[in-house]
Structure 1
Amino acid sequence: MSATSDDLIDLGYRAEDMSRQELERCTILTAREEGLLRKLKSPGQRLLIGPRGSGKSTYLRLARYQLQDEGVALPIYVNYAKSLSLEPELRRDPSALAFFRQWVLALILRGLSQATATLELELADTQTSRMRLATQVADAVERRRVDQAPPSDFTLTEVLETLEVVSEVARRRRVVLLLDDAAHAFSPEQQREFFEIFGNLRSRVVSAKAAVYPGVTTYTPRFQVGHDVQVSDVWLDPSDPDFIPMMSEVCEKRLDPDSFSRLRSRRGALEYLALASFGLPRNLLSMLSQFLEEDDDASLKNTTQLCDSAVRDSAAATIKVFLSLEEKLPRYKNFVAVGSDLVGACIDAITEYNSRRAGSAKVVSVLLQEPIPSEIDRILGLLEYAGVVRRSSNLSMGPKSFRQVAIHYSLLLSNGALALGRNPSVEQAVQGITQRDSSPARVRRTLTSLLGKDFLSRCKLDMAACQRCGTPREIPEARFCSHCGAPLTDASIYEELLATSIEKLPISQKQLDRIIAAGEVRTVQDILTDEENVKLLAAEYIGPKRAAQIKAVADEFIYE
């Protein structure tokens, strides 16, 4: 079988795009996953936190289906992924924040309407008409026709009361709100407004759970994470003994028997790719798809070459996700630059350390000496959002304390940081990652040694200058220029993301070259507005499945 674009292995990357049957068939539930689901189904507020592709949507949707079947609580699933499409209105009209609040509440009522339709419940005309209005408001935003949204006056009290009434009609003791994509693409103003609402989405009957990202979420001062709401981390740990068996089972369920057999016949490939995913299922599925495509002509590449090719592209895509924050969070452009330097310096430090030590056990993390300035802590959070690094608990060594930071394994592997020698085998790479050095020596570094003495001076917010006189803003919230008094406006992040070159998308260079050569697509907006993917299909070796995947990546670039 030739893995051309038309018969590309369809691994169903996004939980949002999978049916219930597909989701349940492809998901492995260990004791850890079962515990997470119990927390999502229980009373009380909870945040589900993890980087992109860590499985937050999978857990929320599975919790929804289990609650439906158990019949004790009424689940309401809501996805706020399209929030950024409201951002241009917020830039042009400060009163748009009030509409944003209406939209947040409208989506809950629309989700409730969908749940009542599934259960075939009969409600009072007043409730039905209000949910119909909510659906019109929500649909207008998703169609990018905010000006066509009908006037609305939803209140938090009304929403809570409606949820309680419907729970009684449905004969369910509780209502569980499952709020997906709850606080990433929102502007800081939107995020604060959202958490004002979320913090009050509770009653004797109602509780809310929300999926958020590390490093990019802005909470309101009155909303205390860990006090007002409990947090569950969904990120899988590659060092867990159950990790590789679990990933192997996921692959077996996702792949057809022939493809899985081909994968298993390549000794060590599955383990290598699973570890290189850094505990992020989406990374693994992307590498598997590429591996199986290139495995078609087995005479051209051995197992190590196939794996290394997939890992290199995965590492490049991971870095692109982090660098895309320059567009998504323009004020933090300088932070992204420093973060990129920090990762490079950490990889160099790990390479140096591993090169000087004998034996197969390798080091995959750096210990950063405390204290860690708030600016660097913010940068580490941004890196964690993209899955580039993973922060662990602090370690004390004598009078000094250190923050342990693991670097994405695909970056270490593609940069030779494990110092495995020339042309290392897949088995050597797996051994280097999984074995741990028992020596007390560690890669310990100060931030100054990694970034130079002036690193803090580089961690400055990049605030847009006055468009009339060019004077930089003194504070981010300034509305008028301190020099000439002219109104200060920010460019629309949403509109700038749409205009971004496709070269910023985390897809392979081969695909980019083919799309660019076709001459039809240049920006992210070109992909999203490409009806039936006609322009993408004009590119060589890109068929319907590959085009759909590329469009999904473009959608994630805007809304995740």
Structure 2
Amino acid sequence: MSEFEERADQLALDIIDTSLVDGEMFRSARRKLLATGAKLLVGPRGTGKTHLMRYTYQHALDKPTAPLVLYASFNRYLNLEPLLKRSPDALKRFHSWVLAKLILSCFQWLEDKGENSAWFAALDPLYDSAKLSGLISLLERGGGDDIYQEFGQFLTVDLVLKAARALASRFSRSRTVFLLDDAALSLSDQYLVSFFEIFRLLKTQYISPKASVYPGTTQYGPTFHASHEAESVPLWLSIEDSEYSQIMGEIAEKRLTKKEVETINRDILEVFKYASFGIPRTFLRLLREYFDSRPGTSQQKINKIIEQQASLIGAEYDSLGLKIRQFSSLVSMGRRLFDKAVIDISAGQSEDTSTRNIVLGIRQDSGQNPLAERMLRFLIEVGMLFPLQAVSHGPNRKYDRYIPHIAFLYQHGAFREGRGSSLKVLPQVMQRPAAKHPVRRDLNSLLGAETVENLHLDLPPCQNCGAERLNDSQRFCHNCGQELVAASLFEECMKLPLEQVPGISKALIQRIQADTNLRTIGHVYASQNASGDLQQANYVGPVRASGIISKVSVMVNEFLS
């Protein structure tokens, strides 16, 4: 099969230009990105936020009537997270890192447009692309003390505004749009607060910042009120959208070869459309796995691929408990709620041959509180629950509605009729009329009244003696007196053993451990010659070593994204 890249941040601009599908949701989001005012592009990973931003950037580049559109990605922000432990001025350095990226986006715009940047660099000594790039690179590697002191600390928001105004004036653009990709700095609250303070300051009469964020873990801090200061633009295609099958089909046509589109069975393609649950990146991954799968019946291959997909999503969700430890209990309880909902909906749908009823309704007054709402948002965060508009079924009977991920419903037999499975059943069910009422539950029936009442945050213990904290405002350990600091998520990721990297067999792990000193992700990540070190293991050559390094990189990127 042809090789195609699933992640939009790895695609060339010319491929970005030809591979975006044309559905009303995407057209509306593009209009919002180019419009005035601050916007937050909201969706789980893989819904197309980066793709849409880069497409918008590319199309505005050579269109004189469009605003000046500048693009910057902040996907490596967590590389700076260890600074919070080591440097008293970590937030100032992070602030400079963000501003350096924004100014550098001006140089990138000039380069992409084929314009000379000498005139721009002459406007201010701080508009130095080499120093800006050096500052960014060194800060991301944990260094940069000298260049920060000599250069980085003098970067300001005013310099960014000045740069945007200069570019807009030079090229006769009436206003400027900043596209701030991967702005959901969810795993470092302190940086997130600082970032959205910059976001707020960028918003002026002639400058409109737009940021892509996640629906569950993004916290905006005390100075940024998301509902008042920016309009939320959802970017997640509902499987109940009238254009759903058509849009997902266009994605396949644009990213696969003509031969692959012609050879894949239509029923199989429809199953994967719905099993991807409106996530284009997942859809492409399912197709890749199908084309790469070993011989077997179509049903066997599909069942295995969907089972693996559900396992991956579940593992990503469970990892939230490690990444944001103060919410680990909520993450655990959310998984229990989700599993119970999937069982209940699957049982009902498998018996219903006339309608489609895959919607869960949770009664609003059934023990809901900020903790319960946050628990549900984590499920939305990784794409396990799709939120729908709330409905009322009488006085004091209002229900929030959600669709559980189709892959999990499929696994639990929601689309099985009779004794066996058929490729046609899932698409056929999705074409049936929707049931009048959702599967109605309350939190107590899904989790138990005692569990709902005892939902709580988890406070990290003392790093020195392991004593549990007494409250969330505690600064020093009551047992040993040690100052309490947050553990570096980056360092925790680096400590993960290679056994936890998906796709590396136990036998291969055993050979690596027997013949090399590589034990953790950090060992591979930090090795100057990781391929050479891995090849010291028996039966590990260049190709297999490259595969291991790729799997480690994917896990690091997913863990820190």
Give, in angstroms, the shift of residue 543 of structure 1.
6.1
Between the aligned partners of 1:361 and 1:539, the Cα distance in structure 2 is 53
Written as runs of structure 1 = structure 2, the 5 A alignment for 1:210-249 is: 210-249=211-250
Deviating more after overlay: 29-38 vs 190-199: 29-38
Q: Percent identity?
A: 27
Between the aligned partners of 2:159 and 2:258, the Cα distance in structure 1 is 52
Give, in angstroms, the shift of residue 541 of structure 1.
12
Q: Which of 132, 136, 139 is matched with 1:138 structurally?
A: 136
Between the aligned partners of 1:360 and 1:551, the Cα distance in structure 2 is 47
Tell me whether 1:304 sits opposite 2:295 in the alignment: no
Q: Which of 322, 325, 328 is matched with 1:333 structurally?
A: 328
Give, in angstroms, the shift of residue 148 of structure 1.
5.6
Match of 2:148 in 1: 150
Match of 2:7 in 1: 14
Give the conservation status (yes or no) of the 8 Å contact 2:106–2:163.
Answer: no
TM-score norm. by structure 2 comes to 0.89
Match of 2:314 in 1: 319
Give the conservation status (yes or no) of the 8 Å contact 1:54–1:281.
Answer: yes
Secondary structure at the counterpart of residue 173 of structure 2: coil
Match of 2:393 in 1: 397
Secondary structure at the counterpart of residue 62 of structure 2: helix
Match of 2:48 in 1: 55
Q: Residues 108 and 186 from structure 1, CA distance in 2 versus in 1: closer, same or farther, beyond 3 angstroms?
A: farther
Tell me whether 1:291 sits opposite 2:287 in the alignment: no
Give, in angstroms, the shift of residue 482 of structure 1.
3.9
Secondary structure at the counterpart of residue 123 of structure 1: helix
Query: What per-residue deviation string (whole Å, max 9, x for no partner) do you get for residues 402-451 of structure 1?
Result: 1112110011111223453322101012222342443x353111111111
Between the aligned partners of 1:539 and 1:255, the Cα distance in structure 2 is 32
Deviating more after overlay: 53-62 vs 451-460: 451-460
TM-score norm. by structure 1 comes to 0.90
Between the aligned partners of 2:336 and 2:377, the Cα distance in structure 1 is 15
Match of 1:473 in 2: 469
Give, in angstroms, the shift of residue 199 of structure 1.
1.0
Give, in angstroms, the shift of residue 303 of structure 1.
1.9
Query: What per-residue deviation string (whole Å, max 9, x for no partner) do you get for residues 33-83 of structure 1?
Result: 222112111221111010011110001100110110213422221110111
Letter in 1 for 2:268: A
Deviating more after overlay: 482-491 vs 382-391: 482-491
Query: What per-residue deviation string (whole Å, max 9, x for no partner) do you get for residues 500-519 of structure 1?
Result: 245555x55xx555753652
Q: Which of 104, 114, 117 is matched with 2:111 structurally?
A: 117
Give the conservation status (yes or no) of the 8 Å contact 1:9–1:289.
Answer: no
Give the conservation status (yes or no) of the 8 Å contact 1:332–1:461.
Answer: yes
Give the conservation status (yes or no) of the 8 Å contact 1:277–1:284.
Answer: yes
Q: Residues 51 and 516 from structure 1, CA distance in 2 versus in 1: closer, same or farther, beyond 3 angstroms?
A: same
Deviating more after overlay: 196-205 vs 76-85: 196-205
Written as runs of structure 1 = structure 2, the 5 A alignment for 1:180-191 is: 180-191=181-192
Match of 1:498 in 2: 494
Deviating more after overlay: 246-255 vs 317-326: 246-255
Tell me whether 1:163 sits opposite 2:157 in the alignment: no
Give, in angstroms, the shift of residue 548 of structure 1.
7.5
Match of 2:460 in 1: 464
Deviating more after overlay: 302-311 vs 415-424: 415-424
Tell me whether 1:435 sits opposite 2:428 in the alignment: no
Match of 1:345 in 2: 340
Match of 1:200 in 2: 201
Query: What per-residue deviation string (whole Å, max 9, x for no partner) do you get for residues 302-335 of structure 1?
Result: 2222221211111111111111112211211111
Q: Which of 24, 27, 30 is matched with 2:20 structurally?
A: 27
Q: Which of 338, 362, 378 is matched with 1:382 structurally?
A: 378
Q: Residues 179 and 28 from structure 1, CA distance in 2 versus in 1: closer, same or farther, beyond 3 angstroms?
A: same
Between the aligned partners of 1:414 and 1:501, the Cα distance in structure 2 is 30
Tell me whether 1:179 sits opposite 2:180 in the alignment: yes
Between the aligned partners of 2:505 and 2:240, the Cα distance in structure 1 is 34
Between the aligned partners of 2:425 and 2:546, the Cα distance in structure 1 is 35
Q: Residues 379 and 146 from structure 1, CA distance in 2 versus in 1: closer, same or farther, beyond 3 angstroms?
A: farther
Give, in angstroms, the shift of residue 208 of structure 1.
0.8
Deviating more after overlay: 304-313 vs 280-289: 304-313
Between the aligned partners of 1:80 and 1:317, the Cα distance in structure 2 is 25
Q: Residues 539 and 259 from structure 1, CA distance in 2 versus in 1: closer, same or farther, beyond 3 angstroms?
A: farther
Query: What per-residue deviation string (whole Å, max 9, x for no partner) do you get for residues 164-215 of structure 1?
Result: 1232223322221111100234411111111111011122322111000011
Secondary structure at the counterpart of residue 180 of structure 2: strand
Give the conservation status (yes or no) of the 8 Å contact 1:364–1:406.
Answer: yes
Match of 2:71 in 1: 77
Between the aligned partners of 1:165 and 1:374, the Cα distance in structure 2 is 45
Q: Residues 27 and 170 from structure 1, CA distance in 2 versus in 1: closer, same or farther, beyond 3 angstroms?
A: same
Query: What per-residue deviation string (whole Å, max 9, x for no partner) do you get for residues 454-474 of structure 1?
Result: 223553222122345544223
Deviating more after overlay: 124-133 vs 93-102: 124-133
Give the conservation status (yes or no) of the 8 Å contact 1:106–1:154.
Answer: yes
Between the aligned partners of 2:239 and 2:546, the Cα distance in structure 1 is 30
Q: Residues 320 and 195 from structure 1, CA distance in 2 versus in 1: closer, same or farther, beyond 3 angstroms?
A: same
Match of 1:4 in 2: none
Q: Which of 419, 422, 441 is matched with 1:422 structurally?
A: 419
Between the aligned partners of 1:220 and 1:533, the Cα distance in structure 2 is 42
Letter in 2 for 1:410: A
Q: Residues 29 and 145 from structure 1, CA distance in 2 versus in 1: closer, same or farther, beyond 3 angstroms?
A: farther
Q: Residues 230 and 467 from structure 1, CA distance in 2 versus in 1: closer, same or farther, beyond 3 angstroms?
A: closer
Q: Residues 274 and 149 from structure 1, CA distance in 2 versus in 1: closer, same or farther, beyond 3 angstroms?
A: farther
Between the aligned partners of 1:202 and 1:37, the Cα distance in structure 2 is 19
Q: Residues 535 and 318 from structure 1, CA distance in 2 versus in 1: closer, same or farther, beyond 3 angstroms?
A: farther
Alignment size in residue pairs: 542
Stretches of structure 1 that go unaligned for 5 or more consecutive residues are 1-7
Between the aligned partners of 1:351 and 1:287, the Cα distance in structure 2 is 22
Give, in angstroms, the shift of residue 379 of structure 1.
1.1
Give, in angstroms, the shift of residue 100 of structure 1.
1.1
Give, in angstroms, the shift of residue 252 of structure 1.
1.9
Between the aligned partners of 2:31 and 2:13, the Cα distance in structure 1 is 19
Give the conservation status (yes or no) of the 8 Å contact 1:420–1:428.
Answer: yes
Give, in angstroms, the shift of residue 346 of structure 1.
0.8
Give the conservation status (yes or no) of the 8 Å contact 1:361–1:431.
Answer: no
Give, in angstroms, the shift of residue 394 of structure 1.
1.1
RMSD: 2.6
Query: What per-residue deviation string (whole Å, max 9, x for no partner) do you get for residues 476-526 of structure 1?
Result: 343212455331122211110122245555x55xx5557536526654335
Deviating more after overlay: 27-36 vs 176-185: 27-36
Q: Residues 481 and 555 from structure 1, CA distance in 2 versus in 1: closer, same or farther, beyond 3 angstroms?
A: closer
Using CA pairs under 8 Å that are at least 6 residues apart, name the structure with larger relative contact order, 1 or 2: 1
Stretches of structure 2 that go unaligned for 5 or more consecutive residues are none
